[in-house]
Structure 1
Amino acid sequence: MLRPLYKSAQVRELDRRTIAGGIDGFALMQRAASSAWHSFRSRWPQVRSLTVMCGSGNNGGDGHVLAALAMQSGLKVQRITLKPLVELSGDAARAAELATSAGVGCEEWHAGIELTGEVIVDALLGTGLTGEVEGRFKRAIEMINAAHRSVLAIDIPSGLVADTGAVLGIAVKAACTVTFIGDKVGLHTGEAPAYTGEIDFRPLGVKAQAYFDIPPTAWRLDDSLLADAFAPRLRTSHKGDMGHVLVMGGAPGFGGAALMACQAAARMGAGKVSLATAPEHITASLVRCPEVMAHGVRGGAEAAELPNNADVVVVGPGLGQAAWGQAVLQSALQSDAPLVVDADGLNLLARQWPDVRRDNWILTPHPGEAARLLGCEVADIQSDRPAAAQALQRARGGVVILKGAGSLIAGPSGLVVCPYGNPGMASGGMGDVLSGMLGALVAQRGDVEFSAWLATMVHALAADRAAEQEGERGLLASDLASYARKLINP
C-alpha cells in the first residue's frame, strides 16, 4: 500500500539496468516523453499551444520528443533550447533531430524572448543538479515563473533537489510534475510541495522493486491504510481495552496546549484520558472536556506516580522550560511507559538530557526543535530533511516525526513521508493535537512506529478535510478532532 521512493542515483541505476536489459535508451526516452504528453493532455485538453523549454541533457531530450508529439497532434509548438542543437550529443541530439523532422521550429533562448504557449513545459534541468542554478538557466527559470502560466515539469521542477526537496537558489513552480521510473523522495518534502504541483508518477514499465539490491530510500504513506487499521471494534469492547493516555503539560499560565492534546486523544478513541497540569487549569479542563480526568500537580512529587497508571504518556504541550516543566518531564522519563514528547519537552531534552535515548518513544520536533536536538542550525535541517530525521532517530532511538510540509517519520523500519496536509496548518496548537492523537493510537495499538504513521496521516488528512469545507485561512487546531473522528470510522 506504500509507494517506494528513491534517490536520484538509485533511479539512474534503475535506468541503466533497464537499458542494459535490452531496452534502447532512446526508446526509453520516447516512452517517457509519451507518458508526459498523455499527462499534459489529460490536464489541459483544450490547450492549443505550448512552449517547451529544453536543456542540454536527457531531460531536454524528453522535451524535444514531447514537442514532436504535440506538433503531430496539431498543436502550435514553440521550442526553446538553452544549448545550440549542433552542440547536443547522444540521445538528446537524436531527440532534437526527431522534433526538427516533425516540423517543430527551434529558437535559442535569450533574455528578451517571448514565451507564446498557453502552457509551458519545463525540460531544463533533471535530477542530476548539484550546484546552485546560475546564468542562463537561472534567468530562464525566472522568466517561466514570471509568465504566470501553468507549467508541466518533466521528471522534476528545474532547480529542485531530487534527494532532499531543497531549492538550489531558484526553481520552477509547476502545476504538475510527471516523474519516471522511480518516484523521488525530494518531490514530497521540504520546499517541494510549493513547486511540484500534482505529482504524476509513470514507471515506464520498470518494476523498480524487482531489484532487491536497490532498496527504496523511503516510503510514501497512502490513505488506503486507514480501512484496515481502523476496522470495526468488537461488540464486547470496553474502555479498558482502549488504553489510558496521560497528558503531562500545562505549566502555570500555559494550559491550552495540554487541553487540546487531551481532547484530541479522546476523539481518537482512547478509553481513558488523564491530565496532569498546574492546579489553576483544572476548572478550564472540566469545562472544556469533562471526560478527561484532571489532576492538579504543583511539582514532580505530585506527578511522580501518575505515569505508572497509564499505557502511554504524552509530555510537552504547554510544559514550559522552568522548574515545573523540568520536574514533570523527569517524572515522565522515569516511567517505563511509551512516551510521546513534544514542544518544550523536546527543548528540555536538548538542554537537560542530551544523551537520553529510548526505543519506546515518539519525538515530534519541528525544524527548530530538531536543530536544537542535533546541535545545528535550522537551515541545516531544511537543506536535507531526510538525513536530519534519520540522524535524530539514530541518536535518540524510537520514532522521530520531523514536522513540516511533507512530514517525515524515521523509525526502525526506515523513513516514511506523509504527503498530506495544507498551509492552513500553520497555526498554533497543531502539534499539540498531533501529540494527543499519537498518544491515543499508541494506547490502543501498543506499537509506536505504525501508530506514528497512522496518527501523522490522520492529522494531516483531517486538516485537508477541514480546509476543503471551510478554507485554509482560519483553520484552528481544535477543528481537527471532529474530522479525525470521521476518518478513523471508515
Structure 2
Amino acid sequence: MQTLPTQLYSAQQARDIDRMAQELPSITGFQLMTKAAQAGFKAIQKYYPSASKISVLCGAGNNAGDGYLIAAIAIKAGYLVQLVSLVAEEKLHGDAARAKQEFIAVGGKILQDYLVIDHATDLVVDALFGTGLDRAVTGYFADAISYINTLSIPVLAVDIPSGLNADTGNIMGCAIVANMTITFIVLKKGLYTGLAADYCGTIIFADLAVPDTIIQSLPSKERLLIPSELTKRNASAHKGHFGHVLIVGGDYGYAGAVHLAAVAALNSGAGLVSVATRREHALQTHICSPELMGHALEQLADITELLAKATVLVLGPGMAQGAWAKSIWPTLIALDLPRVIDADALNLLANEPTYSDNWILTPHPGEAARLLHCSTADILQDRYAAVRILQKEYGGVCILKGSGTLICAGDEVDVNTTGNPGMASGGMGDVLSGLIGSLLAQKYSLIEAARQGVYLHGLAADKAAASKGQRGLRASNVLQFLTEVVN
C-alpha cells in the first residue's frame, strides 16, 4: 500500500487549496476533476481487477462530477456501467454539469432509482456527497445509503464516504460504509479519528499534481503520527541511565492493573520499576515478575524514601476512588516529578482539577468527559476540539484514546494509526501508561514519550493480533510484543 502524506487538513482548508490551485493559469477546475476521475478509475483497475460491472451513485456537487467522469472513463474502457443520480439533472452546475455531458456523450444513461443497484454489480462507486456536506443526511438520500450498506458489494468512496464529517469523523445521520476511500489533493482530518475507521476502509491518496507551494501555504495543525526510531543505547549503559518508574495503584480487587503497567514498563526498557500498592498485593509482586520491586502502601509515610528515589510516577492503574486512594492522592498529585495520570487518577483529578506542565493525561472519552464536566457525546462530537480543551485546562500532554488516538501538547495534534479493535478489552490502558512511564524514565520528553508510547502500544497490539487474532486479545498478549517493538 502507498505511503501517505502526514499532514491533515480541514474541509475548509481543502476547499481553499482547491480554489487557489484553480487560480493558477495552468489549472482549471475541470482539469482537477478529470485528474480525480482518472485516479479513481486507476484505483478500480488496481484494487478491483475482476470488476466488470460498476454502479456509480451521484449527487449534485463536484463530488458527483468526479463520479460522472469515472463512469465515462469506465464506459470507454469497456465496463458495463450504470449511473444513478439522486438529484434532478438540472441541479448540476458548472464543472459537474460539464462532467454529466461527457458521460452522456460516451453513451451513458442517467438512472433515478437506486434499487437498480443489485448483487449483479461488482463494485459501487460512491460519489454522492463530498467534504462540503453540512447537515444530517435524511429522506431519500438516507434511504439510498442504507440500501447500499445492506448489499454485500465492495464500495469505493470518492474523496470521502458520503455522510462522514470531513472534520470530525462523525456520522451525519448515516454514511456509506466503504471498503476503500480514495481522497484527493490533501488528507482530510476526519478520515482518521472518531467513527471513520468503520466507514473509510483502506485509504488511498492522489495529489492530482497540485503544487506543494499551494498546499504548504496553509498551515496544518493536525498530522498523522510518524515516530522516529528510539535512540540507540551506549555500550557502557547501566540501569541508572534508564530511570526508576514508580507505579502507584492496585487497591483491593485491582491488583492486575498495576501489575500490567509495571510489566509494560519493564518490557519497554525502564532501568528499575517499583510498585506501591496494598500490602497483600505488594507481597505478590515478585510472582508477577521477579524483576519488579513491590512496596506496601497503606499510608503515604510507607513510601517516603521510595518517592525520593523515583524519577517518574505512574498514577492510577487499579487505584479506584475509595478512602485509600483519596488519602494518598493530594500529596502524589503535588509532587514535582514527570507523571502519567491514568484510570481512576483521572477521575480523582476531575473532582479537584489542577494544572501542571509536567504530566501526561491518558483519558478515554468517558474519562475526558468527567475531566471537562460534559457528556461523552460532547467529547465524541469533535475529538480534535476536546483534546485541545483538555490540554489547555490541565496542561502537559493530553492523550485522547480511541480509534485514531489523539495526542496534544498545545495547538498541534498528532493522530495515531496503529492499533485494532482487539484492544477493546480490560487492561490495555494500564499497559499504555506503563509504557509511557518507561519512556519518560528513559529521558524522552513528555511529548515524545506520549507519541512513541501510543504508536508502539498500537503496533504491539497489531503484532499480537496478527499472531493470535483480534477477538479475545488480552492486554497480557500485548505485553509479550512490547520488547520487540521498542527494539
1:322 aligns with 2:322: yes
Q: Tell me which of 218, 243, 249 is aligned to 1:214.
A: 218
1:371 aligns with 2:369: yes
Whole-Å separation in 1 of the counterparts to 2:73 and 2:406: 38
Q: Tell me which of 49, 53, 66 is aligned to 1:49.
A: 53
Corresponding residue for residue 397 of structure 2: 399
Q: CA deviation at 1:324?
A: 1.2
Corresponding residue for residue 128 of structure 1: 132
Whole-Å separation in 1 of the counterparts to 2:230 and 2:83: 51
Whole-Å separation in 2 of the counterparts to 1:308 and 1:321: 25
Structure 2 residue identity aligned to 1:295 = H
Structure 2 residue identity aligned to 1:183 = L
Moved more, 413-422 or 200-209: 200-209
Moved more, 461-470 or 157-166: 461-470
Structure 2 residue identity aligned to 1:104 = G
Q: Tell me which of 351, 356, 380 is aligned to 2:378.
A: 380
**3-state SS of 2:284 partner:** helix
Corresponding residue for residue 418 of structure 1: 416
How many residue pairs get matched?
483
Q: Tell me which of 94, 98, 111 is aligned to 1:94.
A: 98
Corresponding residue for residue 78 of structure 1: 82
Contact 1:166 1:191 in 2 (8 A): yes
Contact 1:156 1:178 in 2 (8 A): yes
Structure 2 residue identity aligned to 1:267 = N
Whole-Å separation in 2 of the counterparts to 1:384 and 1:236: 48
Whole-Å separation in 2 of the counterparts to 1:319 and 1:149: 48
Contact 2:17 2:214 in 1 (8 A): no
Whole-Å separation in 2 of the counterparts to 1:455 and 1:282: 26
Q: CA deviation at 1:412?
A: 2.9
Whole-Å separation in 2 of the counterparts to 1:147 and 1:446: 49
**What's the TM-score, normalizing by structure 1?**
0.96
Whole-Å separation in 2 of the counterparts to 1:412 and 1:110: 46
Whole-Å separation in 1 of the counterparts to 2:313 and 2:163: 43
Instruction: Go from structure 1 to structure 2 and tell me whether the alpha carbon gap of 1:93 and 1:183 turns closer, same or farther (over 3 Å shift).
Output: same
Corresponding residue for residue 19 of structure 2: 16
Corresponding residue for residue 143 of structure 2: 139
Describe the superposition over 1:266-306 as per-residue Cα deviations: whole angstroms up to 9, x where unpaired.
00000111111111102321111111111101022324443
The within-5 A match list for 1:278-289 is: 278-289=278-289
Q: CA deviation at 1:376?
A: 0.4
**3-state SS of 1:122 partner:** strand
Corresponding residue for residue 9 of structure 2: 6
Describe the superposition over 1:173-213 as per-residue Cα deviations: whole angstroms up to 9, x where unpaired.
00000001110111000000000000102111124565555
Contact 1:316 1:343 in 2 (8 A): yes
Corresponding residue for residue 349 of structure 2: 349
Contact 2:359 2:446 in 1 (8 A): yes
Whole-Å separation in 2 of the counterparts to 1:10 and 1:208: 14
Q: CA deviation at 1:85?
A: 2.2
Q: CA deviation at 1:45?
A: 0.8
Contact 2:263 2:434 in 1 (8 A): yes
Unaligned runs of 5+ in 2: none
Whole-Å separation in 2 of the counterparts to 1:374 and 1:63: 43
Whole-Å separation in 2 of the counterparts to 1:369 and 1:303: 28
Contact 1:71 1:104 in 2 (8 A): yes
Q: CA deviation at 1:59?
A: 0.4
1:159 aligns with 2:157: no
Whole-Å separation in 2 of the counterparts to 1:24 and 1:210: 15
Structure 1 residue identity aligned to 2:373 = G
Instruction: Go from structure 1 to structure 2 and tell me whether the alpha carbon gap of 1:413 and 1:446 turns closer, same or farther (over 3 Å shift).
Output: farther
Describe the superposition over 1:429-467 as per-residue Cα deviations: whole angstroms up to 9, x where unpaired.
000000000000111024100110010000011111111
**3-state SS of 1:482 partner:** helix
Describe the superposition over 1:308-336 as per-residue Cα deviations: whole angstroms up to 9, x where unpaired.
32111000000011121123332322211
Structure 2 residue identity aligned to 1:5 = L
**3-state SS of 2:414 partner:** strand
Whole-Å separation in 2 of the counterparts to 1:121 and 1:230: 42
Whole-Å separation in 2 of the counterparts to 1:366 and 1:184: 23
Structure 2 residue identity aligned to 1:117 = T
Structure 1 residue identity aligned to 2:483 = R
Structure 2 residue identity aligned to 1:458 = L
Instruction: Go from structure 1 to structure 2 and tell me whether the alpha carbon gap of 1:275 and 1:458 turns closer, same or farther (over 3 Å shift).
Output: same
Corresponding residue for residue 311 of structure 1: 311
Structure 2 residue identity aligned to 1:7 = S
The within-5 A match list for 1:389-468 is: 389-412=387-410, 414-468=412-466
1:171 aligns with 2:175: yes
Instruction: Go from structure 1 to structure 2 and tell me whether the alpha carbon gap of 1:320 and 1:207 turns closer, same or farther (over 3 Å shift).
Output: farther
Structure 1 residue identity aligned to 2:297 = V
Corresponding residue for residue 361 of structure 1: 359
Unaligned runs of 5+ in 1: none
Q: Considering only aligned residues, what root-mean-square deviation do their CA atoms show, in Å?
A: 1.6
Whole-Å separation in 1 of the counterparts to 2:309 and 2:391: 28
Structure 1 residue identity aligned to 2:132 = G
Whole-Å separation in 2 of the counterparts to 1:328 and 1:315: 11
Whole-Å separation in 2 of the counterparts to 1:295 and 1:76: 72
Contact 2:283 2:294 in 1 (8 A): no
Whole-Å separation in 1 of the counterparts to 2:446 and 2:160: 34
Contact 2:55 2:117 in 1 (8 A): no
Whole-Å separation in 2 of the counterparts to 1:304 and 1:123: 64
Structure 2 residue identity aligned to 1:244 = H
Identity %: 44
The within-5 A match list for 1:334-345 is: 334-345=334-345
Whole-Å separation in 2 of the counterparts to 1:374 and 1:126: 32
Instruction: Go from structure 1 to structure 2 and tell me whether the alpha carbon gap of 1:469 and 1:331 turns closer, same or farther (over 3 Å shift).
Output: same
**3-state SS of 2:483 partner:** helix
Whole-Å separation in 2 of the counterparts to 1:2 and 1:121: 24
The within-5 A match list for 1:185-204 is: 185-204=189-208
Corresponding residue for residue 65 of structure 1: 69
Contact 1:307 1:337 in 2 (8 A): no
